[in-house]
Structure 1
């Protein structure tokens, strides 16, 4: 029986291959698919737009840029590399609150809208001059609970709190819930630099001075709303400047308190890999197309019709010649090495 089918194959090989290729192509045209389960990630990318993010201690292509510009570049790269089915929302942080510009959108379907939103992020969109990251976490958790799907928060911030934290204005986060799946991405350098003071037209008029941040502990909460206004005094010397740094230690401690994770924002790839490695809380059933598989099989069948016994024999003969030449070269080389070692 085996010999019978072998003879049939050898006699009608081309007909069988062409028929199989035709059937595969017809199947591919029908766009067949199978159902598979895949994880769905949803991210809330939050940009710190407070004035310390205007500090220019970062670089892009060896060109000095502000922390906010660097954040925007990183957000662009992250969105561009996320899988198509990922959903993303863009948010702003200033004062003690976070605002979402929209609910999470499909990355590929709304690719242009997401990038345009990131392009237009600006420090002048801030509704207050303070920067109270710790206070904003409760509002962020409430905001995430109102989103239509489980979403992970990714804060891009330098961790610079203003007014400075002390015993009177440090919120206790012992009972905080909802930090799992959150990430703090530290933007800036450990060396730090001054915070530029800018006009409404984005023109630099100086630097924020140390006195601007010297808030007395017993009046910090009372003056929080008043201190958000613009002070036109200018720091005239390097000594007077308030030096803003990436507070990695504080961000790590804050992340540990709420069960989040801290990432240094020095490399986009590390940030992307870290946020994607976290397990997704939800999944969906989607169709997976197998048309490409049928088309590939049709191509193999068509290729098989051009390979006759004579062609295979010639290929085998050429491969044998090439193998003999390779062995000959290796053997001659080993003899030369042995000869040289003998006379050394």
Structure 2
């Protein structure tokens, strides 16, 4: 043992370089150690009703629809999330919420998650209504069906269609599922016409105020309104229904279900609100240490090129200057 120690002492540089190489090789294997830590898991619910096609947002200085703006925000959010974070994407239309998959890790599945976001589109909707208040119950059911706990982030403009009145307003006084949820308001406070689009996503007109009351969204059909509208005819300038972010309603709804509200016109504000959310759970999870091994290897490489007695070297240089 003494001989080995003496050899390493006289061959310090070689020993450190060899140790650095071993650490780098170990780092390539991406080892993990089990530790107890916070697990951050999110279910990102996106409103895909037709009011999300309203162009009252801005991207790169150009007008953008609410759904396009939401896609961009989701892309940036996923990029900003640290490895180990888990996300699920879900769609909202009508009164129900459908999750596309259970929470998956963002770094390992980065490309798949970003591709899913790219394909978020109003044409995927299965209902023409937009009953956000009713959907709170659907979100809670979807969460309970997941294999692991998750926090909810609901991206919506707050547009209830049809409008709420005494007969269709769900009583949420006993609702207990919204604690820790985050409602993100998308849209502007300025009323803007809702575009009427065909199956090829081409503009064919705008929703009129009376047709919105009877037939909101994409394709709600009943005995009462069959044949009363011609989708090929645009509403007149004075007849268009003007949609805007219903921020007061979303704030009131958030308070009612014990959730939080944040306006979605700032990515920084949304990320800050996410940090205030509690972790989905605390559990034993693998912690990657490859970065630590690589850092130690870097320290050894630097040390190998330093003089053996740096203080003595500094004193010698000071004497030479005198």
Preserved CA contact (<8 Å) 1:194 1:242: yes
**TM-score after normalising by structure 2:** 0.84
Following the alignment from structure 1 to structure 2, what is the Cα–Cα distance between the partners of residues 33 and 304?
A: 31
Which of 312, 315, 318 in structure 1 is aligned with 2:314? 312
Preserved CA contact (<8 Å) 1:130 1:228: no
Q: Does 1:42 align with 2:37?
A: no
Residue matched to 1:253:
252
CA separation of 1:13 and 1:88: change in aligned 2, threshold 3 A? closer
Q: Does 1:297 align with 2:299?
A: yes
Alignment of 1:11-90 (within 5 A): 15=10, 17-18=12-13, 21-22=16-17, 24-25=19-20, 28=23, 29-31=25-27, 35-90=34-89
CA separation of 1:76 and 1:316: change in aligned 2, threshold 3 A? farther
Following the alignment from structure 1 to structure 2, what is the Cα–Cα distance between the partners of residues 266 and 49?
A: 18
Alignment of 1:125-274 (within 5 A): 125-214=124-213, 226=222, 231-233=229-231, 234-274=233-273
Following the alignment from structure 2 to structure 1, what is the Cα–Cα distance between the partners of residues 132 and 119?
A: 22
Following the alignment from structure 1 to structure 2, what is the Cα–Cα distance between the partners of residues 136 and 229?
A: 26
> Which structure 2 segments of 5+ residues have no match?
1-6
Following the alignment from structure 2 to structure 1, what is the Cα–Cα distance between the partners of residues 151 and 311?
A: 60
Preserved CA contact (<8 Å) 2:214 2:225: no
> Which structure 1 segments of 5+ residues have no match?
1-11, 322-344
Question: Per residue, is there more helix in 1 or in 2?
Answer: 1
Indicate the structure (1 or 2) with the bigger Cα radius of gyration.
Answer: 1
* Aligned-residue offset at 1:113: 0.9
CA separation of 1:33 and 1:74: change in aligned 2, threshold 3 A? closer
Following the alignment from structure 2 to structure 1, what is the Cα–Cα distance between the partners of residues 134 and 278?
A: 27
CA separation of 1:313 and 1:232: change in aligned 2, threshold 3 A? farther
**TM-score after normalising by structure 1:** 0.79
Aligned length: 303
Following the alignment from structure 1 to structure 2, what is the Cα–Cα distance between the partners of residues 26 and 100?
A: 46
Deviation readout 1:169-219 (Å, 9 max, x if unpaired): 110000111101211110000012000111112111111011023359xxx
Residue matched to 2:285:
285
* Aligned-residue offset at 1:128: 1.2
Following the alignment from structure 1 to structure 2, what is the Cα–Cα distance between the partners of residues 132 and 87?
A: 28
Following the alignment from structure 2 to structure 1, what is the Cα–Cα distance between the partners of residues 189 and 307?
A: 66
SS for the counterpart of 2:164 is coil
Deviation readout 1:40-72 (Å, 9 max, x if unpaired): 111111111101001000110011111010011
Question: Which has the higher mean CA deviation after the structures are superposed, 243-252 or 31-40?
Answer: 31-40
